[in-house]
Amino acid sequence: MYNRKTGQIIVEIPKNGSRSLVAAAEAAHGRKSFAGHGHKSIAEVLALMPAKLLERVGKIEAVAVIRDPADRFRSQLAQYMKIKRATLADALAACEEQSHIVFKPQKAFLDTGGANVGVKMYAMQEHLEAQRRVGHATMSTPCRINYGEYSIPHHIFYEERAEGATIHLMDDLVLYSALFPLTEVE
C-alpha cells in the first residue's frame, strides 16, 4: 500500500507483521491517506500510484519487515492450528494450499520492477522502528505479533514441509541471512 501524501510504500508481506505496520501508519496519517492495500510487490504498488504523485514526490521510499522464513512458516502453522483447532497434518495441508500467497518468497514482494525506490528493511525484531519509520511514534508494542516460542517443533519445518515450497525457503534464507547476518556470541 502507499501513502497518498508522501508516496511512501508499506510492503505488506504475509506473516511479517504487516497488519501492525499498516495500523501504525494509519494511526499516524489517517486511514484515508492510504491506497493499494494488499500483499503486492513494490512494482505492483507503483503501478497503482498516480503519475502526479510519483512526479511530486520524486524518490519513493518503501518500508518492509523481513522475517526469518522458519519463523514465518511456524507462525502460519500455529495460527491455523489455533484458529481451526486443526491437527498438524491438516495445518500442513492448508499451508500447501495457501503457499502461493502466504509463502511467496519475501524477495518477490521487494521487486521494484527496475524503478528507483529506496527500500528500508527491518528484521521482525525491529518492528517498532519500522512503525516509527511510517510515522507512528507512540505505539509501544506491535499488535498481533508473537515473538515467543511456538509449540511446533523446529524440525517439522524442514522435514515435513510441502515439497513445492522448498525453493521459496531457500530464497528467503538467502535474503534473510544477507540482510541480517548471524553474529557469534562469545
**Domain boundaries of the chain, sorted by first residue:** 2-179
Q: Which pLDDT does position 109 carry in this prediction?
A: 93
**Residues in the chain where the model's pLDDT stays below 70:** 100-101, 137-176, 178-186
Coil, helix or strand for 186? coil
129-179 confidence digits (pLDDT tens): 898 899 886 654 444 444 333 333 333 333 333 443 444 455 666 666 766
* pTM of the shown model: 0.73
Phi and psi angles of residue 154, each rounded to the nearest 5 degrees, phi first: -60, -40
